[in-house]
Structures are given as structure tokens and as C-alpha cells.
Structure 1
């Protein structure tokens, strides 16, 4: 990542002075190596039927590509991080219905371009405020046991101390990649505790990184809670945090409920 980008992000850190790293490239030209969940567990097909693998590139030959994640929130809509689809990103391949993005049987690979994307108009690449975007799939997918939308939160609750599951594809540590979706269980940190590290907005939520958490490249990955019946509720998507996979600084997600009206206006879901 370019030094200027790091400097812009580091200004969001509180007096600890610790470096902050975005979980995915802010622009394709400065994309770090792809990555995913640190200290997580490999998922199986159908375990997270709403999880979407997003591979964006600049359309060049050969393309400069990087990985992100997302969540299926309607039969034709995927939500992801805005910084995954800005900069020189020109197209993105979305893979649904498979934990292994490298070629699982039954995987659905769908090609999209900028014309299919809606980036939040108030997204700020310097602060990562409003770090949310939508991908309109060119055709709706038919739900089945391995591909189905997740219910999204419409609440602005802070979910402090709630147990959550965070999922994404890529690095298992600072150098090991994997084509398989991984997930980790952790806890939402109270805003007061997390504000010691970052300047949060009301549309962000903070996640504990003990014993593991999201890492560079997990951007857009689903953050869910589960009800007593085991039904998932999407409360966030991975945005930024850390400074290395093993760094225990909190991770930050975009709070889905804060964008309920905007999502509804775009998708009518």
C-alpha cells in the first residue's frame, strides 16, 4: 500500500500511534496481497450460503486483480465494501454457492462491470466513512441449499458484547493464501472501548480480534449474529483495522442497519 494511503488511514488511530491498515486496497493500483480470516476455521459448502467471493480487476491484459468478499442480500444484490470497487477497478467476478472459490462443483460465477455497481455517494476513501457498495447481478439467482440471501439488520443498535461470526477468503496469516472461505467467532466491542484506537462514526461497529479476526483483503465480508433458532442476521461488512493478520488491534465493520434506507432505495429489498 502506498505510503500516502497509510498516512491517511493512520490519522484515524487514537493516541496509541499504532499503524492502521485497510483490509483491502483503496485503489487497485495500491492493492496489497489478497487475504482473509486469521486464526479462523475452514467453512464447508452451504455453511454460509450468503457469502460471496468478489474478485475485482482493472480490465488490463494481464489484469491487476485483488480479492474481496461480500454478502448476498437479495436474489440479485450483493453488498460489499466501497473501497473494493473504486480506484481503477473496472470489473468484478462474483462467485456464489461454494466455500472453495477455485472451482467447487455447483459454484455460480457471475461477471459484473462498473455499470452493475452502486458505491455510496458519501464514501470517503481517506476515512473509510460510508464504506459500502452494492453489486447488481445481471440476473437473479435461484436460491438453494448452497446459495441464498441473508436477512439484513435494519436496526441502528450497537450490538455491544454480542457474539458474532466474521467470514472471508484469502490469507490465513501474513503470507499464506487459501481459496477456501474461513470464518471466526468473536465479539462486538463497546464503542467506548474501541474509540481508544479509532475515530469511529455512527455507521461503524468494532470487533474484538482475540483470538483472531479479519485481515487484509476480507473487505466486504459478512459480519453476522445468530438468533436462538440459528438464523443469521447480517449486521455489518468488514471495512478496516489491524496492521497485520496477527495484530490484536480491533477490526472495524460498516454497520448495515445505518444504511437501511439507502439499501432499500437502491434494491427495493
Structure 2
């Protein structure tokens, strides 16, 4: 009889241990992003352009003149782009830009957002923020309906321009959004992709004038998820990770909203990620986290079906 009681007690202890770790795991998955982290999306004043702080390229190199013609920057109207640049984006159609929702989080569910985004312009057609790029006004911002501004889930938005861009093959053109076939053929663990932007390039918070780019390997989802789980950060299924385990090269503050794209054997490039967040910049063990466009095709198709029309 005593032996049976001993076994029962052991079983109860085991049960409570398992239950305890299950609760801890669940809580860590639901924990909001720590607002003290430097990689949390900026809190910009859309009137003055003050306090901008977004993701940028660490350990990269300057882009060539016509290498990434779909890259755009967002800046404060009537102020120099090189002084008020706060986020990036990608031209996916002559009238549309795709970017991160958190770049405009202060306008999310804001009845005055039209007035606010009237103070923001899009800079395109030049890799130099002090160059003669095209400045475009915004007609509307369409946020993902399930955007979570705290945990950066569904961190994606579509920007409709008031006037369509004049696209050409040299310094201002669109990039095709990846389709399912290309995604499963190209986007795999350790495949090399490219991120770009005008974000911070060193520990001194230096912002470049010339567009920067970095080649980064795609990281296995489970590996990325487990690494961030250790510091109570959630990598959800709508995200994809890229970067080096030993750090050194990464997107950083100023690059948010910018492209993560991949090239096929014929040299065609496809957009499959949007720069979202990370732990620090190029920190060992913590990869760059991007919104996985393949997980948001329905959102794009519902709001901009023409953005998915391409022949490649």
C-alpha cells in the first residue's frame, strides 16, 4: 500500500512540473515586446520628423546606381530626405508601395491619419538621399487588418500613391512579389537573400546618404524561433528570419519596411520579405526578422490585385 502511495505522489509531482513549464512557455509566447529595446519601432512626429528611429544595414556595402530601383524612403514633407528619412519600402506597382505597418503605427486606427500622412512623402528613383529623386504624396495607407503593434505580428502595409510613378528599367522600377512556385524553389534555409535601406550602419548611429545593401542567409524558422524564445520574444508563423549566427551583418534602425529579396538563376529578383524587427543590430545569435510576404498574399490580393500581376 505504501508503495502505491509513493508512486502516486511521484506521478503528481511530475504532473505539476509539466504543467508549470507549459504555463511558462505560454506566457513567454504572449509577452509583449520590451519597449526598452533599441530595436522597437520608432515613435516619429509626422509633423516635425523628430525622434525618428528605424532599422538600417550593418556590415553591408553601398548599392550601385541602378541595382535596387524599387527601393523607396519615407520622409517628412518640406524637409530634406537625408535628415528625416524614417523608413523604407518597395515599389510593387506604379501606384503602390509595400512597407511595414509599424512604420506608421501612430496612424493605425487613428481618425486623423489622413492629416498625418499628408505630412509624409515617398522618395524614389535615386540611391542618394541628397540626389534628385522623385518625391510623391500618399493617398492612403492600408494596414493589415490583424496588425499587432505590440508584438509586430502581421507587420505589413500597402501605401497608395496620389500619382502613379513613371517606371523605367534603370533607376525606378517595381519588383515582382514572389509567387508560390518561386517561393518554394528559392526561399530555403541558407539560401542567400539581400536586404537594403538607408538605416544605421555602425554603433555610432551613423545614417548614410547612399543606399546600403547586405547579403544574408535565410535562417531555419525553428532555429530563429528558439533563439528568440530564450529572451521571451515571439517569432510567429507570418515571419521569416535571415542573418548570421555570429552577427556582423544585419538590417538595423532605419531599414524598417525595406525589401528582403532573392534572385533566381536567370537573374530575376523577387520580393519575399519586409524588414520588421530584431534584437539589437547584427547581434550574435539574433537574426533579422522580416514579415513573410507569402503569408500575406491574400491581404495584398484583396487590396491591390494589380500588385500581383507580373509575367516572370
- Whether these two folds match at TM > 0.5 is yes
Q: 1:176 to 1:109 in 2, by over 3 A?
A: same
1:159 pairs, out of 188, 192, 195, with 188
In structure 1, the partner of 2:257 is 220
Matched residues in 2 for 1:222 and 1:72: separation?
Answer: 10
Q: CA deviation at 1:28?
A: 2.4
* Number of residues of Structure 1 aligned to a counterpart in Structure 2: 246
Q: Structure 2 unaligned segments of length 5 or more: list them.
A: 1-30, 108-112, 229-233, 307-312
RMSD: 2.6
Matched residues in 1 for 2:41 and 2:85: separation?
Answer: 8
1:55 pairs, out of 75, 82, 86, with 75
Q: CA deviation at 1:265?
A: 1.4
Q: Contact 2:58–2:250 (CA<8 Å) still a contact in 1? A: yes
* SS of alignment partner, residue 197 of structure 1: helix
1:97 pairs with 2:132: no
For residues 204-219 of structure 1, the aligned pairs below 5 Å read 204-209=239-244, 210-219=247-256
Select between 198-207 and 178-187 the one with higher mean Cα deviation.
198-207
1:128 pairs, out of 124, 131, 152, with 152
Query: Higher Cα Rg: structure 1 or 2?
Result: 2
In structure 1, the partner of 2:300 is 263
Q: CA deviation at 1:31?
A: 4.6
For residues 35-50 of structure 1, the aligned pairs below 5 Å read 36-50=56-70
Q: Contact 1:9–1:22 (CA<8 Å) still a contact in 2? A: no
In structure 1, the partner of 2:283 is 247
| Greater RCO, 1 or 2 (C-alpha within 8 Å, sep 6+) | 1
In structure 2, the partner of 1:188 is 218
In structure 2, the partner of 1:3 is none
Q: Contact 1:24–1:217 (CA<8 Å) still a contact in 2? A: no
Q: CA deviation at 1:260?
A: 0.9
* SS of alignment partner, residue 164 of structure 2: coil
Q: Structure 1 unaligned segments of length 5 or more: list them.
A: 1-6, 12-18
In structure 2, the partner of 1:73 is 92
Matched residues in 2 for 1:255 and 1:246: separation?
Answer: 20
* SS of alignment partner, residue 65 of structure 2: coil
1:170 pairs with 2:202: no
Matched residues in 1 for 2:126 and 2:94: separation?
Answer: 16
Q: CA deviation at 1:20?
A: 5.2
Matched residues in 1 for 2:102 and 2:273: separation?
Answer: 15
Q: Contact 1:33–1:66 (CA<8 Å) still a contact in 2? A: no
Q: Contact 1:76–1:141 (CA<8 Å) still a contact in 2? A: yes
TM-score, with structure 2 as normaliser = 0.72
Q: Contact 2:39–2:54 (CA<8 Å) still a contact in 1? A: no
In structure 2, the partner of 1:4 is none
1:141 pairs with 2:165: yes
TM-score, with structure 1 as normaliser = 0.83
Q: CA deviation at 1:8?
A: 3.1
* SS of alignment partner, residue 227 of structure 2: coil
